[in-house]
Structure 1
Amino acid sequence: MNPLILVVDDEPDVELLFRQQFRRDLRAGRFVMDFAPSGDRALERIADAAGISLILILSDINMPGMTGLELLPRAKAVRPDVPVIMITAYGDADTERRARAGGAEALLSKPIDFALLRAEIERRLETPA
């Protein structure tokens, strides 16, 4: 089974944007991307992926209902082995401190630097689980 990357964001255009940015990788089967529009749906997907090689969770911070910062410790409790990168339009020092304290590996600011994200994904694909 191909490695899985889970993207959590309530914005409907995020899936299209990510699929466009990684279309060659997705078409070649290097990895699969799944999308969850909320923290609750993300937790369901993480639980469903118990036997799957989930290599990365990318989560927006500002979402209605469960925020990304609320999702973070719950996702880490279910899959402590999976790195989480938080994404925010408001990348201030306090937000980064809270994300790191919750277990996030990094904080990316919007608009997303897809070259940086691609390098992070490449690193995850090369690192044996």
Structure 2
Amino acid sequence: MKVMVVDDEKDVQSLFTQKFRKEIRQGAINFSFAFSAEEALQTLKVKNSEYLVLILADINMPGMNGIELLKILKENYPQVKVFMITAYGDEQTYQTAMQYGADDYINKPIEFETLKKKIWNL
């Protein structure tokens, strides 16, 4: 399964690699990382997004935020599932994310066992 993580905090790469090391080693999951919404969109344009199953996108990022990214993703890549991730979970942001088509909404700190269950249930 191909998953892209979009977050402006670069340490998420080592965190996800560590938390999913067994699944990565087994070839069950393959992560790519983008450190801005703009980078994620550029990567999707250049690389074939056909096999991308899931995007995990932070909401609060400089430049284009995760909600704006979500709207573009759902318009241009409707087959891709999008989970929104935030450290600032307020009801308005949740409602907006759901309105724009988020497939799930996850609060930080991420509970990785729960996230794994959600991913495998896609």
Structure 1 length-normalised TM: 0.89
Match of 2:89 among 91, 98, 105: 91
Question: Cα distance, 1:51 vs. partner?
Answer: 5.2
Percent of matched pairs sharing the same residue: 45
How far apart, CA to CA, are the structure 2 residues paired with 1:68 and 1:52?
A: 21
Structure 1: stretches of 5+ with no match in the other structure:
125-129
Q: Which residue of the partner structure matches residue 34 of structure 1?
A: 32
How far apart, CA to CA, are the structure 2 residues paired with 1:33 and 1:77?
A: 23
Match of 2:55 among 54, 57, 77: 57
Alpha carbons of structure 1 residues 51 and 57: separation in structure 2 relative to 1, 3 Å: closer
CA contact (8 A) 1:4 1:52 kept: no
Question: Cα distance, 1:46 vs. partner?
Answer: 2.1
Instruction: Please tell me the residue identity of whatever aligns with 1:8.
Output: V
Q: Which residue of the partner structure matches residue 79 of structure 2?
A: 81
Moved over 4 A (4+): none
Question: Cα distance, 1:75 vs. partner?
Answer: 1.2
Instruction: Please tell me the residue identity of whatever aligns with 2:23.
Output: D
Q: Which residue of the partner structure matches residue 106 of structure 2?
A: 108
Q: Which residue of the partner structure matches residue 6 of structure 2?
A: 8
Alpha carbons of structure 1 residues 49 and 120: separation in structure 2 relative to 1, 3 Å: farther
Match of 1:24 among 19, 22, 25: 22
Q: Which residue of the partner structure matches residue 127 of structure 1?
A: none
Secondary structure of the residue that 2:121 maps to in structure 1? helix
Secondary structure of the residue that 2:63 maps to in structure 1? coil
How far apart, CA to CA, are the structure 2 residues paired with 1:46 and 1:101?
A: 23
Aligned residues: 122
Instruction: Please tell me the residue identity of whatever aligns with 1:116.
Output: T
How far apart, CA to CA, are the structure 2 residues paired with 1:73 and 1:61?
A: 12
Secondary structure of the residue that 1:99 maps to in structure 2? helix
